[in-house]
């Protein structure tokens, strides 16, 4: 148990659906991250939040919309996704953005049909 | 920007043998180099890290070495066990953006009993 919990673990959605991924950290950290993990590719940083403020948006398409209501919770809202968006979406947290060590959740395996 | 290359992409060793995974980075300003282990169905977990002011670091059966001049670092696992089978990722980050971990594409290690 890493202290970072992601739900759901698996999600199948059609291209016209709207769904949300949830991440919760129990570590008292102030920074949270969304990553995309595709097969045989490096982890891609999508968004970074520090104290509920977005500090990084790595040219992610607008069909991905993050939300950080407090320092313990992070959401990724999905709408009108494409099949190439199918991947493992990982959430991570760190004490703050000046600390390198990140703790990852188990991820949500997303399939877009 | 920073680029991290990781080799090999797959590695199969006999139980008890050693395993070595190598990474090279492009940005000489990088100063932090973690290694993550990802088991099936789980998120990446930090197993060891090294900072640029140190050439080698050991933790029981695992060690990391860093050659700043050549801009490469390696993970060494001795006396491998079946439970070492996983995907291993290297990463690099810089002091002025320490939260931005640039990951390699991963090495799938299989330890044959």
DSSP A48-92: EEETTEEEEE-S--TTEEEEEEETTEEEEEEES--GGG-EEEEEE
Predicted confidence at residue A56, as pLDDT, reads 84
B96 compared with B5, residue with greater pLDDT: B5
Inform me whether the pLDDT recorded for B61 exceeds 80.
Answer: yes
Q: What average pLDDT does range B19-44 have in this prediction? A: 95
**Is B26's Cβ below 8 Å from some Cβ in A?**
no
Q: What is the pLDDT of residues A11-51, one digit of tens each?
A: 999 888 899 999 999 999 999 999 999 987 899 999 999 98
Query: Which chain B residue has its CA at the smallest distance from A33's CA?
Result: B99
CB-based contact A29:A93 (threshold 8 Å): yes
Count the residues in chain A. Answer: 113
3-state secondary structure of B83: helix
Mean confidence (pLDDT) of chain B: 95
Is the pLDDT score of B35 beyond 90? yes
Residue B71 distance to chain A (closest CA, Å): 19
Binary contact (A2, B43; C-beta < 8 A): yes
pLDDT tens figures, B67-90: 999 999 999 999 999 999 999 999
Residues of B whose CB is below 8 A from A6:
43
Cα A87 to Cα A39, B11, B34, B76: the distances in Å are 8, 24, 23, 29
- Buried b or exposed e, range B52-91, using 16+ CB within 10 angstroms: beeeeeeeeebbbbbeeeebbbbbbbeebeeebbbbbbbb
Name the pLDDT band for B59 (thresholds 50, 70, 90).
very high
What is the rounded average pLDDT of the residues B82-105? Answer: 93
Calpha distance A27→A99 (Å, rounded): 14
Give the pLDDT score at A5: 97
Q: Nearest by CB to A104, from B9, B43, B99: name it.
A: B43
């Amino acid at each position: 148990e890493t202290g970072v919990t992601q739900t759901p673990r698996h999600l199948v959605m059609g291209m016209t659906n709207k769904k949300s991924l949830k991440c919760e950290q129990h570590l008292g950290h102030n920074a949270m991250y969304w990553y995309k993990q595709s097969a045989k590719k490096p982890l891609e940083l999508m968004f970074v939040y520090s104290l509920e403020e977005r500090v990084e948006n790595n040219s992610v398409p607008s069909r991905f919309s993050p939300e950080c209501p407090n320092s313990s919770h992070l959401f990724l809202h999905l709408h009108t996704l494409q099949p190439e968006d199918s991947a493992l979406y990982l959430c991570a947290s760190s004490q703050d953005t000046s600390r390198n060590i990140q703790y990852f959740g188990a991820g949500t395996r997303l399939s877009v049909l | 920007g920073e680029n991290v290359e990781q080799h090999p992409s797959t590695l199969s060793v006999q139980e008890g043998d050693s395993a070595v995974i190598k990474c090279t980075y492009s940005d000489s300003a990088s100063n932090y180099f973690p290694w993550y282990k990802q088991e099936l169905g789980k998120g990446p977990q930090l197993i060891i890290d090294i900072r640029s002011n140190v050439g080698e670091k050991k933790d029981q059966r695992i060690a990391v070495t860093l050659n700043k001049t050549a801009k490469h670092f390696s993970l060494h696992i001795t006396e491998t066990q079946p439970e070492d089978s996983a995907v291993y990722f290297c990463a690099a980050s810089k002091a002025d953006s320490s939260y931005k971990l640039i990951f390699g594409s991963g090495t799938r290690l299989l330890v044959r009993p």
